[in-house]
Amino acid sequence: MLVGQYTRLYTMIIGAIFAAVLFVVPPHARAEISADNSTAVIFVYQRVGEDSVAQSNISLEQFKEHITELTKGSYSVLPLPKIINALKNGDTLPPHTIGLTFDGAYQATLANAAPLLEDAKLPFTVFFASDMADGGNPAHMNWNQIKKLKKDPLVSLGILPAAYAHMPSQTSEQNSTLINKAIAKYRDVLGEEPAFFSYPYGEYNTALKKQLAGYNFKGVFGQQSGVIYPHSDFLALPRFTMTDDYGDLDRFVLTANAAPLPVSEVVPEDTVLAQNPPIIGFTVAPGISNLSKLSCFGSGLGKLKLARIGGGRIEMRPEQPFVDRRTRINCTLPNDVIMPGEARSWRWFGMLLIAPSVEEDSGEDSAENPEEPEENQ
């Protein structure tokens, strides 16, 4: 039922996107938005070619289409460390920079995805949980396989906590135990400190972000939609989730060409909801025009009614309580600027909000349920 809601919403959004009127402005106008000077789209996959786990899987056929698009299109697929270092150091990234990540270190990643990426010479990053690598689950890579991956120049590694957990629902002491265990095991086995961390299920809250700020991670990643740029929150970096339901080629191309929608003064301040439904709001950065064309959608909610308050302030007041543990809010805006010979890009800002009173409905993999799409006119 939920997948059906997603599919209807996706169809509605895509139809609205292609109904937009395109226009061209001079190339120099692109530089007017500082957030556009250096950007990257990061994709996250979980299982590849494991059709029996539909919610977190992308078919091998769809994944091959992504690889073909990346190799034949005008993209620069770069290692995640290079992307993050460039953004932090103020270096300019090539246009259409892409990063590829895989959460969970599944055997299917090793068997199905890695050979295709190797053949295409595309770099990628694998996030793993140390307890799984210890042999806790045969669906995941073991340490010998991870050590072999580490020797591959195309591969970089990152960590999840030692065990999959809904971290915002745990105490800081419980989370410290899982983080510290994962770091220590990585150090002991691989001889260095991990540079990247991924939140299980994309779930985090303000307290957890503050906790992770005390570590030396270069980047911490969620599963909310969006494009990273130098002023992104490096303790909650967005990624576009690719699965069967949201991994068709049209959506892949759409998100691969997305631009940032820089916002501030986001509410609710914490992703874990104190009230359900929440008041949702943000202020769009100066220089972003045509806010009348901004659209926001919520998973299971459809298109949301926006209040444009002035000064770039946008607010939403959903009428119905969120019925899923994770609700994704995606706000998109057609880019003012389109370069000659390029398709329209869409500015994108996403949130993942957590209703803690709602039980997880389908086990571990429900967390990798894709996000919601997308935009509109």
Place of tokens 């990798």: 368
CB of 170 within 8 A of CB of 201?
A: no
Query: What's the mean per-residue pLDDT of the chain?
Result: 88
Helix H or strand E encompassing 102 = strand 97-103
34 pLDDT more than 50: yes
Mean pLDDT score, 264-287: 96
pLDDT at 194: 98
CB atoms closer than 10 angstroms to residue 343: 11
Confidence of residue 32 (pLDDT cuts 50, 70, 90): low
Whether 310 is covered by a domain: the verdict is: yes
Domain membership of residue 42 (yes or no) is: yes
Which range is least confidently modeled, 168-182, 198-212, 303-317, 330-344? 330-344
Q: What is the largest CA-CA distance in the chain?
A: 57
CA distance 263 to 91: 22
**What is the SS3 assignment for 237?**
strand
Kindly indicate the confidence band of residue 168, based on its pLDDT and cuts at 50, 70 and 90.
very high
The 8-class DSSP code of residue 272 comes to B
**How far, in whole angstroms, is CA 185 from its chain's centroid?**
26
Contacts of 6 (CB under 8 A, 6+ apart): 245, 246, 299, 370, 372
Q: Looking at residue 355, what is its pLDDT?
A: 94
Residue 21 confidence (pLDDT) above 60: no
Query: Per the structure block, which two tokens stand in for 185?
Result: 């095991």
Total of domains in the chain = 1
Q: What is the CATH number of the domain that holds 65?
A: 3.20.20.370
- Could you tell me which residues come within 8 angstroms of residue 152 by beta carbon, excluding any fewer than 6 positions away? 118
How many residues appear in the chain?
Answer: 377
377 assigned to some structural domain: no
Q: Is residue 226 part of a domain?
A: yes
When pLDDT is cut at 50, 70 and 90, the band that residue 19 belongs to is very low
Residue 288 lies in a domain: yes
Q: Does 315 fall in a domain? A: yes
Backbone angles phi, psi at 281, to 5 degrees: -160, 160
The end-to-end CA distance of the chain, in Å, is 27
Domain that holds residue 160: 2-368
Q: Looking at residue 339, what is its pLDDT?
A: 63
The residue type of 301 is L
> Is 374 inside a domain boundary?
no
58-82 tens-digit pLDDT:
999 999 999 999 999 899 999 999 9
- Asked whether residue 375 carries a pLDDT value surpassing 50, the answer given is no
When pLDDT is cut at 50, 70 and 90, the band that residue 289 belongs to is confident
Mean pLDDT in residue range 301-308 = 95
State yes or no: pLDDT of 190 exceeds 60: yes
Residue 37 lies in a domain: yes
Q: What is the reported pLDDT for 83?
A: 98
Q: What is the pLDDT of residue 16?
A: 45
Query: What's the rounded mean pLDDT across residues 267-278?
Result: 96
Q: How many beta carbons lie within 10 A of that of residue 138, not counting itself? A: 9
Q: Which of 72, 52, 71, 51 is nearest to 61 (CA)?
A: 51
Res. 338 pLDDT band, cuts 50 70 90: low
Q: What is the pLDDT of residues 226-260, one digit of tens each?
A: 999 999 999 999 999 999 999 999 999 999 999 99
Give the sign of the dihedral formed by CA 116, CA 364, CA 205, CA 372.
Answer: positive
What is d(CA 314, CA 291) in angstroms, rounded to the nearest whole number?
9
Q: Which two tokens stand for residue 192?
A: 């260095």
